[in-house]
Amino acid sequence: MPQISCAPDAALWLISTPHTSYAVRIDSGGAPCHVAWGGRLTLDEAAEIAARQPPVDREISSFEGRPPVGDELPVDGGARYGVPSLQVRFADGTRAVEWEPAGHDIREIPGGASELDLNFHDRHYPLDIGLHYRVYDDSDVIERWTTLRNTGTDDIVLLRADSAAWTLPPRADYRLSHVTGQWAAETQLGRETLPFGETVLTSRRGIPSHHANPWVMLDGGDASEDHGQVWSAALAWSGSWRITAQRTASDGRAGFTGGAGHDSTTLRLGPGRTHTTPRFAGLHTEGGFGAASRAWHAYIRAHVLPHPGEIRPVLYNSWEATGFDFDEKRQLALAARAAELGAELYVMDDGWFGARRADRAGLGDWTPSPDRFPEGLTPLADEVHRLGMLFGLWVEPEMVNADSDLYRAHPDWVLHFPHRTRTELRNQLVLNFARDDVADWAYGWLTALVADNGIDFLKWDMNRSFSEVGPAGPEGDDRLWSRYVHNLYRVTDRLRADHPRLRIEACSGGGGRVDLGILSRTDQAWPSDNTDAADRIAIQHGYSQLYPASTMAAWVTDVPNELTARTVPLAFRFHVATAGVLAVGGDLARWSQEELAEAAGFVDAYKQVRHLVQHGVQHRLRAPVDDGPTVVQYTSPDRAEVLVLAWQRAPRRGRPELPVHLAGLEPGAVYRDVATGVSHHATVLTGHGLPLELPPGDWASTAIHLRRVSD
């Protein structure tokens, strides 16, 4: 079990996970302060570290103030000049917070978890503050969140309410790792020295966005894929967010604070109301960035995903085959070919409803087009099921076209400002899910659609960012930003409760909405609209820094690729897609019998190893950093099987093809190549490497499946 212990005389608490410890204390002024976060400590050892920290009432320079990093939840007030995690404005205009301890609670949670609550009041004003921590017996991840309760009779304005702040120990240098990008080029991994001062990562778009993702990793500048300490944290929130990393020259420390909302959103906390922030989970690991990723993957599978033990089916999606130009007959023909290919889930994409003939009309009118499906969707769903596949649909519940019956009936349902132009992006407007009537409308047609048509799977898309987020609600604040996300969660939670067999893929024009919050309510995510296999290598590399392969949909589509016009071999496309949840999105009606037979072989090969990809332990053996091969390894939890995937764009003349050193094997074991029958000693594979023997020429790739030889 995880351990949470307390030294009351020292006002010190120690939270211990299987491999790490986290310590917090209350200083002489009553404020919660960070003590340590790293390797395992005893309570006495944590007390020694706490004793080294100067008292809050020590004399400080008039130009320095309280250190900007080190408070457990930095607030306005006193000589604090760092980034506040909590900013409030009371009814009389006062903005500072002064802490008064109000006790703590430690409890065991069924299922192997423990929680710590540290409770506080403001010294004068009617505000209760709770700092909350949860740990699990099988993970080093620490979940943190904050609750704020108005115990008075006047409103309190929350100018900023972060979930948590994290403090790192002094280091000579610090490096920040995160992902950036854009539509069709998401999750591009970047690592750069953390500058002194403040570095802000954020999304103001109403979604986590394609341009960043709500997680950070920090190290001392010396970590590699396999060595070094890494501190990281990820936010479970599917709307706008902000994470601010800080580095101070005064004491060599770094830290970061993060939460929902961006720099101009406020909430009004009415009398008796409680605000609970989303969870901001943190992790310390030894063993470099690879160890950090593997720990996050294990945590997400064990404590985030709703059905982590399932094997995700091979999916076929009709979009790139048909676009908007299709009818029931064409869908039936594609379904027959998809079944022959070995697909287990058939998904009909955009264009099946209302007057949808292009992206200019029909969104919001979620009934089957009578000219395309004269008897509704039931005949197609029944035939897909008869072919032995599950049946899925593309939906975009949060959007509406101005050219739709829904908008003509309810123009007030979209995000808008009075007397201001309603901005259309991709010819669509955003429905105001913060309104309960809009959310209830969406839930109503979704649950009926699933029930009436035997729907097994929904690809839930969301194809634009917010604009004109207003008018303000009755509270006179910016509550719409958060209420929208909570109602989105409420709709998906109700829908899944109604239909326990329903599975959902999160999509937002690609990877615009991937985070721990949405993954707790969906089964997989669409990382990018870019299906070019060459581009996907970098996208998947960045995605894997935090999220497991079992959540990553990966498509094989036609060439030349419709986005990049690049042509790569079918084997290369399949080997890249094998690194996630395999799907096919090409126009099967145009594939030759030879191509179909080759593809069916790759689908069958994937089914032999997908348990390793989706449930195994991932090692990134070689990153996509140059013209050499990119190599990824997946190993079963019992180390009995190994899959090695390698891709190389173009070999460089004169460059030797070096063997790749495997990781995480059973010491002393022997592994046999399933395809060739050649045996390898584990010691040789790890110490001397495995020859990849890539095929000659450009766009070479391989998949090597090894099984441990029984004694």
pLDDT value for 656: 77
Return the pLDDT at 467: 96
Q: Per-residue pLDDT averaged across 417-427, rounded?
A: 93
- Does 473 have pLDDT greater than 70? no
Burial class (CB in 10 A: 0-12, 13-18, 19+), 494: middle
Report the greatest alpha carbon distance in the chain: 81
Inform me whether the pLDDT recorded for 122 exceeds 80. Answer: yes
Q: 381-407 pLDDT, tens per residue?
A: 999 999 999 999 999 999 999 999 999
Q: What is the pLDDT of residues 541-553, one digit of tens each?
A: 999 999 999 999 9
- In CATH terms, the fold of domain 315-614 is TIM Barrel (3.20.20)
User: Once rounded to an integer, what is the mean pLDDT over residues 80-102?
Assistant: 95
Q: Is the pLDDT of residue 66 over 90?
A: no
- Tell me which of 532 and 58 has the higher pLDDT: 532
pLDDT at 647: 97
Point out the catalytic residue in the list 529, 532, 535, 558: 529
pLDDT of residue 77: 85
Residue 63 has pLDDT above 80, yes or no: no
Position 78 scores a pLDDT of 83
Confidence grade of residue 55 (pLDDT, cut at 50, 70, 90): low
Q: Nearest Cα to 283, choosing from 203, 187, 219?
A: 219
CB 201 within 8 A of CB 216: yes
The pLDDT of 429-452, averaged and rounded, is 97
CA distance 354 to 516: 33
Domain ranges of the chain: 3-303, 315-614, 620-708
Both tokens of residue 572? 């290369």
Q: What is the model's pLDDT at position 61?
A: 61
Given this model, what pLDDT does residue 1 score?
Answer: 53
Alpha helices in 460-519 (DSSP H): 480-498, 516-519
Average pLDDT, the chain: 95
CA distance linking residue 265 with residue 525, whole number of Å: 28
Q: What percent of the chain has pLDDT over 70?
A: 97
Burial status of residue 45 (CB atoms within 10 A of its CB: 0-12, 13-18, 19 or more):
middle
Supply the pLDDT for residue 58.
52
Bridging pattern class, strands 86-89 and 113-122: unpaired
190-206: pLDDT as tens digits:
999 999 999 999 999 99
- Residue of 526, 511, 396, 525 lying closest to 461 (CA atoms): 396
Cα radius of gyration rounded to whole Å, the chain: 27
Closest alpha carbon to 22 in 236, 284, 320? 284
Task: With 0.85 as the threshold, say if the pTM is over it.
Answer: yes
Under the banding of pLDDT at 50, 70 and 90, the label for residue 613 is very high
Looking at domain 3-303, its CATH class is mainly beta
461 is catalytic: yes
Active-site residue, selected from the candidate residues 461, 478, 523, 532: 461
| CA–CA gap between residue 626 and residue 403 (Å, rounded) | 48
* Nearest C-alpha neighbor of 499 from the set 391, 615, 378, 580: 391
Average pLDDT over residues 183-189: 98
Residues 6+ apart with CB under 8 A from 388: 339, 344
Main-chain phi, psi angles of 348, to 5 degrees: -90, 125
Pick the CATH number of 620-708 from 3.40.50.720, 3.30.2000.10, 3.40.710.10, 2.60.40.1180: 2.60.40.1180
In the prediction, which pLDDT does 56 show? 53
Judge whether 251 counts as a catalytic residue.
Answer: no
* Residue 194 token pair: 């953390």
